[in-house]
Amino acid sequence: MSDLSGSVSLSHQSWGARLFVTIVRILFSLFFSRRVKIAEDNIKRSTLLLSHLDQHAHARSLAKESLNHLGLTLYQSLLRSLRPQKDRVNAMTLKGLSWPDKLLMLKNQGIDLYSETEITSLIQAPRGIIFVSAHIGAWEELIMLQNLIERPLSIISKRMSIQWTQKLWDRSRGNGPTRIDHGPIGQRARRLTNALKAGECIGAVLDQHDPRSSALRCTLLGRAAATSPDLIRAALLTDAVIVPVFMFRTANARYKLHIFSTIDPRATLHNDESAHDRLQGLTQLCCDQIERAIRMRPEQWMWIHRRWKLD
């Protein structure tokens, strides 16, 4: 069930963050009003507000709060680009620490971890790990997973069409995870599978529209969504496990690192199931977990995306 009352106040943010967020909202209202309209339409056409009588007012309120969180993400990325050495979790302070000590270090850094899976067993297993996430909350902060798990992590991301914004984003990530975001498709696929076969980790968001003919038709919030099959196909090829993970903002400018239950392709194997049906089923399962995260904190998802283009 949707938690529409779970919004995070900006009052605990710095004055600089509050000012930046206000400017972002003004810019969107003046120059990107179409995107704001897309966000409101996406909210109203999803199954999120079925129990609310005044859907228009709730959609407008959620869209505004969503822009607040987008503004905070941009602000924090800007700070990292100006101060790339100021990582939220420093790799050197975590390396070699016991898991309880790592949790204490995270808490001191303002991050509360909640896991539905046994983390130490997951990390110690020789299989590759695919961290699946979405554009929700402080998703850019998830690059700290590389420091937490002490295992190589590569990020699959899209290159931005505007060069200066790409440079700013690159600088904000500093010496973070390796990115798989350029080169021919076949080359990127080989880098992805080779990393997983070597027991490394891959991180990616799976909540954007995939325009390719190979995209799978999945359901997200009651609507058909074209979804990339590449991550799940790689998991099946390399026997990697899939871990949905999200970084939510909480009160007092803190974060909640929420690790959902592991999706193990081995456990979903059925002898009478075709390869395509298995791929479709696992991809839909990932979309279901993303929907679950959105319903937990709907105001923190990036509703301005044109996620649903099939209907």
CATH classification at residue 159: 3.40.1010.10
Please give the share of the chain, as a percent, with pLDDT higher than 90. Answer: 50
Distance CA 307, CA 20 (A): 26
Please give the share of the chain, as a percent, with pLDDT higher than 70. Answer: 83
Domain ranges, residue 223: 82-300
**CA nearest to 81, candidates 176, 174, 172:** 172
**More confident site: 53 or 34:** 34
Per-residue pLDDT averaged across 204-230, rounded?
A: 95
pLDDT digits (tens, 9 = 90+) for 252-308: 889 999 999 999 998 877 767 788 999 999 999 999 999 999 999 999 999 999 999
CB of 255 closer than 8 Å to CB of 248: yes
Distance CA 52, CA 36 (A): 20
Q: Is residue 37 part of a domain?
A: no
If pLDDT is split at 50, 70 and 90, which confidence band does 162 have?
low
pLDDT digits (tens, 9 = 90+) for 5-22: 445 667 678 888 889 999
Q: Is residue 23 part of a domain?
A: no
pLDDT digits (tens, 9 = 90+) for 82-96: 765 555 565 557 778
Q: Is residue 119 part of a domain?
A: yes
Q: Is residue 75 part of a domain?
A: no
Q: Is residue 60 part of a domain?
A: no
Sign of CA dihedral 292, 296, 300, 303: positive
Mean pLDDT of the chain: 85
Whether pLDDT at 4 is above 50? no
If pLDDT is split at 50, 70 and 90, which confidence band does 1 have?
very low
**More confident site: 113 or 47:** 113
Q: Is residue 46 part of a domain?
A: no
CB of 306 closer than 8 Å to CB of 209: yes
Provide the pLDDT for residue 2.
Answer: 41
The number of domains in the chain is 1
Per-residue pLDDT averaged across 30-40, rounded?
A: 92
Provide the pLDDT for residue 112.
Answer: 94
Q: Is residue 106 part of a domain?
A: yes
Provide the pLDDT for residue 77.
Answer: 81
Distance CA 132, CA 137 (A): 14
pLDDT digits (tens, 9 = 90+) for 177-209: 666 666 667 788 888 999 999 999 999 999 999
Q: Is residue 142 part of a domain?
A: yes
CB of 221 closer than 8 Å to CB of 294: yes
- The single-letter DSSP state of residue 193 is H
Specify the pTM.
0.90
Provide the pLDDT for residue 165.
Answer: 60
